[in-house]
């Protein structure tokens, strides 16, 4: 069986323990490869390599760094089909989505930050002819980048690209549930001529390999994307060590539908924002709030189209929802459907595990699910489910819609549907979320600040924010 190895000091190497974990294909429910079960010894080795590589990588002419990172992007483009297939097999997502979104975006991340490094400039401030201040931004050193399983290569590259572009050397850890594309990526880095030790990829469990990264005294900054509970644990370890922290955490995002919306566009996009990637996107709008005068029409059309969605073999090009990432996650999501029923919710569509014939008979599939009849305070509407499950609730006034939207501890993203431009801006202004979409969803511009408020995170990624995060600012004041 294929072994997924660590990438340390420019080489693919076995974990020091010699141990491996099973890696599942979630659409077939069976083990198809083995992933390195790394520990602190592997992390120590990776940090040694990264420290050794830092002086030459951080001082390399920016154009050279840019060229190497662009070569990696070109190789991702060359291997688009292969990487998309690997992502689909590893995660359960449809190969169509992996190709159009995940792998396309992994390449875009590399290109965006490779070229951004060429335009990064320091600030200068002239003080009334009395003095000049200039601020230098130096790469911070060896950094840790930890990413989740839902958009594996997409989110992995979203972190490492700005770190490498800024001149840092990196210890990366993908989720042990979806390690395959990061492994293939390490081979592409070798082929592209990325100098040894600049990027090191450690595979294994969060609580062991991940924790060793967080605890390592010579890793100076941590960029983490994952659940809020894990984020808290990471902060508890890293904050007293005065490490720089960027935390992109969970969401429970509102999708607010006013009666004057463009109905067809709203329904079409709301289906996507509810169920794309089996609802396993932190930006999915899992709480749909509909103005009461439109409620019946919205619910009946949304439920009808939800029932028409095709769940099935992720490798079939007509499939719209693939498998959930793991058996444990499927059980967790189904557990929330049971909870919703206990809390008085009515299931209008889905709610069940789905058995698919043939190759995928043992896969972790589930029907897309629509629930009504719950209030905003119940656990179903407060906790992140991270699966193909949405609730629909009515509202009567703009104020009520806002109160409902802001009624959780999360504040990642929100979507607003209305043709009234003034109202759209007014509501956007008052929602406590870091990312707002008006009459669209997941429409991304990589230059914009990305991240959440409240328990959805600390700090922002995207654009200059990420490059700045991986640098240390120093101000020099010159008296004239
Ligand atoms: P987890 O928090 O379980 O894991 C995220 C990563 O952290 C994994 O690589 C995991 O490893 C690792 N990890 C776990 N424990 C530790 C630890 N103690 N120290 C260091 N690393 C650790 O999240 P999931 O993988 O389940 O991802 C889903 C979550 O991610 C959802 O809550 C979702 O909202 C959030 N997310 C947020 C996004 C955002 O931009 N705000 C974007 C995408 C997802 P392992 O898997 O091996 O245990």
Q: What are the pLDDT digits (tens) for 162-195?
A: 999 999 999 999 999 999 999 999 999 999 999 9
User: Which residue of 226, 238, 247, 386 sits with most ligand 1 atoms within 8 Å of its CB, as the best mutation to test the pocket?
Assistant: 226
- Among protein residues, the one with the nearest Cα to ligand 1's atom 36 is 226
Q: How far is CA 220 from CA 69, 142, 469, in A?
A: 23, 6, 11
Segments making up each domain of the chain, as ranges: 2-249+456-479, 254-445
- Among protein residues, the one with the nearest Cα to ligand 1's atom 39 is 248
User: Which residue of 43, 230, 446 sits with most ligand 1 atoms within 8 Å of its CB, as the best mutation to test the pocket?
Assistant: 230
Cβ–Cβ < 8 Å for 423, 208: no
Catalytic residue among 87, 248, 367, 384: 248
Strand partners, 266: none
| Radius of gyration for the chain, computed over Cα atoms and rounded to the nearest angstrom | 23
Is the predicted pLDDT of residue 128 greater than 90, yes or no?
no
Q: How far is CA 78 from CA 53, 71, 83, 201, in A?
A: 27, 10, 10, 22
Residue where the block lists tokens 């991940």: 210
Task: Encode pLDDT of 204-238 as tens digits.
Answer: 999 999 999 999 999 999 999 999 999 999 999 99
Task: Tell me the whole-structure pTM to 2 decimals.
Answer: 0.97
Ligand 1 atom nearest to CA at 227 = 32
Cβ–Cβ < 8 Å for 249, 457: yes
Q: Is 282 a catalytic residue?
A: yes
Ligand 1 atom nearest to CA at 230 = 2
Determine the pLDDT at residue 339: 98
Q: Is 248 a catalytic residue?
A: yes
Task: Encode pLDDT of 244-269 as tens digits.
Answer: 999 999 999 999 999 999 999 999 99
- Among protein residues, the one with the nearest Cα to ligand 1's atom 43 is 282
Strand partners, 20: 36
The ligand 1 site (C-beta within 6 Å) comprises: 146-150, 155, 173, 175-177, 205-207, 210-211, 214, 225-227, 230, 233-234, 248-251, 282, 384, 386, 412, 452, 457
DSSP assignment of 230-296:
HHHHHHHHHGGGT-EEEEE-----EEEE-TTS-HHHHHHHHHHHHHGGGG-STT---EEEEEHHHHH
DSSP assignment of 161-199:
HHHHHHT-EEEEE--TTS-HHHHHHHHHHHHHTPPTTSE
Catalytic residue among 66, 145, 189, 282: 282
Cβ–Cβ < 8 Å for 294, 257: yes
**CA 148 to ligand 1 center in whole angstroms:** 4
In CATH, 2-249+456-479 is 3.40.605.10: yes
**CA 126 to ligand 1 center in whole angstroms:** 44
Ligand 1 atom nearest to CA at 174 = 9
The fold for domain 254-445 equals: Aldehyde Dehydrogenase; Chain A, domain 2 (3.40.309)
Nearest to 250 by CA among 404, 382, 143: 382
Task: Encode pLDDT of 298-352 as tens digits.
Answer: 999 999 999 999 999 999 999 999 999 999 999 999 999 999 999 999 999 999 9
User: Which residue of 148, 235, 246 sits with most ligand 1 atoms within 8 Å of its CB, as the best mutation to test the pocket?
Assistant: 148
**CA 159 to ligand 1 center in whole angstroms:** 13
Read off the tokens for 285.
Answer: 């709008």
User: Which residue of 22, 150, 151, 206 sits with most ligand 1 atoms within 8 Å of its CB, as the best mutation to test the pocket?
Assistant: 206
Task: Encode pLDDT of 440-472 as tens digits.
Answer: 999 999 999 999 999 999 999 999 999 999 999
- Among protein residues, the one with the nearest Cα to ligand 1's atom 9 is 175
Cβ–Cβ < 8 Å for 60, 46: no
- Among protein residues, the one with the nearest Cα to ligand 1's atom 34 is 250
Distance, in Å, from the CA atom of 350 to the CA atom of 341, rounded to the nearest integer, reads: 13
Nearest to 109 by CA among 57, 152, 169: 152
DSSP assignment of 308-356:
H--B--TTSTT-SB---S-HHHHHHHHHHHHHHHHTT-EEEE--SEE--
Quote the Cα angle for 69-71-72, to 5°.
65
Cβ–Cβ < 8 Å for 410, 456: yes
The count of other CB atoms within 10 Å of the CB of residue 378 is: 16
As a whole-number percent, the residues of the chain with pLDDT over 70 amount to 100
* Torsion, Cα of 394, 398, 403, 407 (10° steps): 50
């Amino acid at each position: 069986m294929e072994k997924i190895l660590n990438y340390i000091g420019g080489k693919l190497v076995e974990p020091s323990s010699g141990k491996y974990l099973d890696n599942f294909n979630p659409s077939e429910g069976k083990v198809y490869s083995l992933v390195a079960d790394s520990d602190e010894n592997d992390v120590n080795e990776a940090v040694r390599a990264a420290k050794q590589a830092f002086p030459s990588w951080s001082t390399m002419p920016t154009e050279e760094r840019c060229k190497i990172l662009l070569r990696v992007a070109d190789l991702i483009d060359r291997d688009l089909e292969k990487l998309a297939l690997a992502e689909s097999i590893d995660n359960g997502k449809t190969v169509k989505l992996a190709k159009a979104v995940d792998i396309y975006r992994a390449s875009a991340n590399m290109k965006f930050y490779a070229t951004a490094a060429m335009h990064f400039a320091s600030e200068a401030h002239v003080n009334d002819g009395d003095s000049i201040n200039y601020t230098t931004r130096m790469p911070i050193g060896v950094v840790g980048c930890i990413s989740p399983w839902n958009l594996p290569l997409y989110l992995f590259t979203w972190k490492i690209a700005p770190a490498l572009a800024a001149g840092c050397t990196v210890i990366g850890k993908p989720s042990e549930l979806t390690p395959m594309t990061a492994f293939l990526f390490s081979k592409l880095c070798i082929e592209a001529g990325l100098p040894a030790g600049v990027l090191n990829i450690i595979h294994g469990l969060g609580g062991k390999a991940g924790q060793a990264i967080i605890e390592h005294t010579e890793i100076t900054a941590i960029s983490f994307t994952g659940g809020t509970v894990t984020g808290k644990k990471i902060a508890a370890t890293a904050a007293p060590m005065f490490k720089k922290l960027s935390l992109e955490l969970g969401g429970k995002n509102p999708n607010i539908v006013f009666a004057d919306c463009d109905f067809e566009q709203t329904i079409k996009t709301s289906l996507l924002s509810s169920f794309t990637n089996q609802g396993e996107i932190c930006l999915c709008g899992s709480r749909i709030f509909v103005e009461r005068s439109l409620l019946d029409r919205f619910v009946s059309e949304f439920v009808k189209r939800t029932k028409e969605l095709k769940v099935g073999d992720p490798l079939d090009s007509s499939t719209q929802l693939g498998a959930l990432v793991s058996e444990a996650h499927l059980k967790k999501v189904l557990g929330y459907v049971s909870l919703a029923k206990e809390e008085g919710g009515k299931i209008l569509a889905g709610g069940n595990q789905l058995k698919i014939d043939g190759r995928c008979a043992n896969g972790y599939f589930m029907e897309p699910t629509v629930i009504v009849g719950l209030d905003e305070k119940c656990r179903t509407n407060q906790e992140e489910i991270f699966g193909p499950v949405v609730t629909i609730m009515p509202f009567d006034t703009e104020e009520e819609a806002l109160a409902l939207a802001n009624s959780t501890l999360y504040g990642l993203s929100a979507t607003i549907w209305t043709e009234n431009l003034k109202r759209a801006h007014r509501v956007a202004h008052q929602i406590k979320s870091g990312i707002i979409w008006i009459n669209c969803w997941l429409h991304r511009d990589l230059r914009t600040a990305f991240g959440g408020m409240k328990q959805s995170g600390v700090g922002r990624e995207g654009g200059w924010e990420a490059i700045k995060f991986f640098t240390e600012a120093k101000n020099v004041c010159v008296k004239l």
